[in-house]
Amino acid sequence: MILIRNFSKKFTAKMAILACIAIATRTGGRHMTAAAFCVAKSSAGSTASTAATTRAFSRNSLPFLAGSTCYGSSSHSKVLATSAASLLSSSALMSTTATQEDVEKVAAVEHPSYEIVSKDVVTEYGAYCTIYRHKKTGAEILSVHNDDDNKVFGITFRTPPTDSTGVPHILEHSVLCGSRKYRTKEPFVQLLQGSLQTFLNAFTYPDRTCYVLASQNEKDFKNLINVYTDAVFHPRATSDPAVHAQEGWHLELEDKEQPLTYKGVVYNEMKGVYSSPDSRLYRQSQRSIFPSNTYSVDSGGDPKVIPNLSFEDFQQFHAKFYHPANSRIFFWGDDDVKQRLDLMDEYLCEFDESPESKPASVVEWQKKTITEPKWETHLYPVGDDQPETNMVMVNWLLNERPFTPTEDLIVGVLDHLLMGNGQSVLYKTLMESGLGSAITGGGLSDELLQATFSVGLKGVQSENAKKVEELVIKTLEKVLEEGFSDEEIASSMNTIEFRLREFNTGSYPKGLSFMLGAMSKWIYDRKPTDALKFEEPLAELKAMIAENGDAVFRDFLKEYLVNNMHRVTLELAPSKSLESEELKEEQDRLAAIKSSLSDDELDEVIKKTVELKALQASEDSPEDRATIPSLELADLKRDVTEYPIEVSDNESDSGVTVVRHELASTSGIAYVNFAVDTSGVDYNDIALLPIFTRIMTETGAGEYTDVQLSQRIGTHTGGVGVSLMKTSVNPDSVPSYAIYEGNNMISKLSIRGKATSDKTGELFSIFKLILTEAKIDSKKKVVEMLKETKSRIESSIQGSGHSYANTRIKARYSVGGFLDEKMGGISYLSTVNELIKQAETDWDSVLKRLENIRSAILNNATCRSGMILDITGDKAVMDAIKPSVEEFLKSLPGDANGEKLQDFYNTEHPWATKAKEEMASIAPLKDEGFVVPTQVSYVGKGGLLFEEGEKVHGSSAVVSRYLRTGYLWDHVRVIGGAYGGFCTFNPMGGDGVFTFLSYRDPNLDKTIDVYDATADVLLKAAEELENDPEALATAIIGAVGDLDGALSPDQKGNKSFNRWLLRQTPEERQQFRDEILNTKASDFKDFALRLKNMKKTSVSVVSSKAAFESAAKAGKVMELKQVF
């Protein structure tokens, strides 16, 4: 489940909510954060964890067409017009086998239970939209018909809270715990276990709650809709207090001599959220500028207030807001529209109209009541060894009325001009000021009724706090006076338009992006399609720019920021005692409650604790399980999906390998990955590679300053980025799916970019420029990057400790895992601190190391041999870019007839040799605890499940997923109260390491006990599965669903490239899929026996000092390390 927080820093690019103007103008959706945990489908079908959502077991902008209007400069007009000529619009991709009239008839069918409110076509995305109103209840349905087989359904309720008990958030969790028709304790989990869903989740916003699902299988799609719809309208939660206790909060006591404790999934989730200084800052920001409407309280719940939520208030909230009259229902895809309406009518017809439901949920506008800017100071917890620096963020409430679509676009472009990237004027000025270590706030946030703008710095010395506010204001005033250049405007406009036209949502369903975009208007009773049509406002904005130039943006800057006095500056000051004070406050509160209870009342608390745990541990009856709709093995696709690939070694005698993926359509866009070998980089310098990749795009190159380079990239491409790619590979003598020690690997510097076919020449020119002429000699910039990296890692450890625990565990067993730890794990924080010190006191030595990295990468004798140019495009794109490819290959550095690099598939990588020497001392095989200021734990344990040379059977994907969605979910999350409990294992070979992990966990030693009992539980399950073919089939179906997620064109190309790099054959992939499909109960037993005998087990935990002390008393002793 995802908690959307308005003032958060990032909602992660994975959600890709870029379908509408307001959302596409953001850089990677940075203004929304999911304060929860997610398990996302990876392209390999294994499981990756991220700090994003919890109940999701599922994963950027459109090419730049310029219209006929210029930007006030003939050169810019020419640039954009040329780009426009080559890009296909989304609507152009629609099927031409039917006339528009035919499509409209299919899309807007009439139905006796509904009236048609309006019909519309969002031609930008080929979407035929019909809004229906259910006659009996008044429920509204937005039915979008197109040819997308990744069908999406969503139902959203406006749910504005009046307090911070977290009732909308708790209810969002609770309604999915059984319903009238679907009677198991956790239908949601059963769906995860045996569905082909491509997305399944729910979101709690500050003012609304969304339930969303997607599937490419129509039978599965209807099953999911039925379960979700029955859940929201007829949940067990409103009649069973145990659900409220489990998901929300309850008092827990097992013995009268023990202290009373609070437990509950949401309660513990929010303790984790409030452990994050960033979350505290954003929460205070929202409260401060919305003093008198629903946004002044926390819809997710304040841990200090959550225990005030009674079951009666919980019931009443559902009754008030979860009526069809207060719902907005959404469909997207190629399924039959009449069947959509029939299905909804089955549920809606049971209700009568409720005229008061919609008015009761209206979100009131916050008036600009602050006439003089305010300053507030609050505290945040820091560790004993953590630097005592402040956080400062300046916040504005922007609008008191709805923005028009064109105004939405103007504000979005203005935000990009100010904060869109590291070279945008406000972002750059703050970072280069030296007043802080990292940006906070991120700029525009506009997914709620009213838009806000927030920006500031972290890592600020207390004496500089006021200077941060002064710098923000002075910079905006300076921009107002001096304006924006034509180049700045062209770059920002092109970047945003590319996003809009490409409509690239990654592996997330396009319908999800469309729905969330529409909901940003529809939820406030405005026309939903207005949020998605960009052609008209884009043309209008271009005309305004042509006539008035940058005055368009300066006028908005003046009205909504510079002259806007509804402004609050938040300062968070460090406190070394706050964590212990808050813990004591909770303990004192619980002690007071306990002392006020009689013996009989204490007995009642103990009784309820026992009853709840017994309920949580109990199995659903066969009759209840039978109520959950499911697929059959016959519904599954048997064959692996293969993607086109053509490999040209030494193309045109260049010495470079060119890999091509020709797809049916890529909308006129070329997706390019240029990989350059890094094996020659000295092992002692590899810790600098993450910074080196940033330098390549952020400090300027050749004759271009950092700003000019950013503008060139934004004006001519859809984006350019650099990253380090490191992949373990097996020798020719070892099968692809076998365990190998990891001494063989491919390491590349990957330069990725995308552009319309007529702009690939520019794209390739930029690639070469940043590869050969990046300005690596900027001490100030490098120090800024290092400090920003330090700040990011510290925040990430507190909020995503499970990922650091996992990386640390894996570092003990394989070279690849150790290198991941060395270049990005918890120990990398110490490395970054050392690099900061070295860069500040001995810059020449750091510069020399950076120069050595580039020299090694561009070694004249060998670099061509290690270069790979990977291109994804349609036939028209491939044909059009041939000359650009030829020119690029000729222009590259290095000798085309030079030496061949060593064969890394069959010889040890140079880094591996050095890494093995360090592993024992830097990542010892021992139980470790990492101490940080936090109210929750992230508990990891792992070991070697398979040893070198052993082949991993495909059934392991089924079994590990079964554990993740069954036993671990039940015992770590449901019973233990953690926000997430799961396991990781690469079923396609790899290092053979299996890990257990928990997320925002109130327990530590008890969670390790759960892990230790897994093998015995799985042995018992294997016996039961022998006589339960339906349960076995469910497990197989879920694993197959992980393999078959929907992919965007660039992802298809990337998947094909990775398969080639790993030297996997189609036959091997098919065998792996067949092994999954043919999984037997005996495979569960074999896996359980391996777990029982797992070798070299070790623990890694991120938690508080108090939690480690408590665990030690329970016999779980670890070597502790204070992180900060």
595-649, pLDDT tens digit by residue?
999 999 999 999 999 999 999 999 999 999 999 999 999 999 999 999 999 999 9
- At residue 5, the pLDDT reads 52
Looking at residue 293, the DSSP 8-state letter turns out to be S
Phi, psi of 46 (to 5 degrees): -85, -175
Distance CA 41, CA 49 (A): 9
Q: What angle do CA 190, 193, 194 make, to 5 degrees?
A: 90
The per-residue pLDDT for 101 is 66
CA dihedral sign of residues 906, 912, 917, 923: negative
- Alpha-carbon distance of 883 to 102, in angstroms, equals 42
Residue with tokens 């510097």: 749
- Phi and psi, residue 117, nearest 5°: -85, -45
The confidence band for 734, taking pLDDT boundaries of 50, 70 and 90, is confident
Whether 153 shows a pLDDT value over 70: the answer reads yes
- Local confidence band at 107 (pLDDT 50, 70, 90 cut-offs): confident
Catalytic residue among 124, 140, 186, 247: 247
Rounded to 5 degrees, φ, ψ at 232 are: -75, -30
Number of residues that make up the chain: 1124
Q: Is the pLDDT of residue 900 over 80?
A: yes
Give catalytic status of residue 172 as yes or no.
Answer: yes
DSSP string for residues in 658-672: EEEEEES--TTEEEE
Cα separation of 409 and 530, whole Å? 12
Cα–Cα distance, 343 to 229 (Å, whole number): 10
Verify whether residue 1023 is a known catalytic residue. Answer: no
Q: Which of the residues 172, 447, 582, 762 is marked catalytic? A: 172
Q: Which residue has the higher pLDDT, 1102 or 190?
A: 1102
Of residues 192 and 650, which shows the higher confidence score?
A: 650
Q: Is 46 helix (H, G, I), strand (E, B) or coil?
A: coil
What does residue 317 show for φ and ψ, rounded to 5 degrees? -65, -45
For residue 798, which phi and psi values (nearest 5 degrees)? -70, -35
CA atoms within 13 A on the CB side of 663: 22
Q: 């008092």: which residue's tokens?
A: 251
Mean pLDDT of the chain: 90
Element (H, E) at 1042: helix 1029-1043
pLDDT given for residue 79 in this prediction: 32
pLDDT digits (tens, 9 = 90+) for 40-49: 333 333 333 2
- Is the predicted pLDDT of residue 771 greater than 60, yes or no? yes
Give me the mean pLDDT over the 230-254 stretch: 97
- Binned at pLDDT 50, 70 and 90, residue 9 comes out as very low
Look at residue 760 and tell me whether its pLDDT is greater than 90. yes
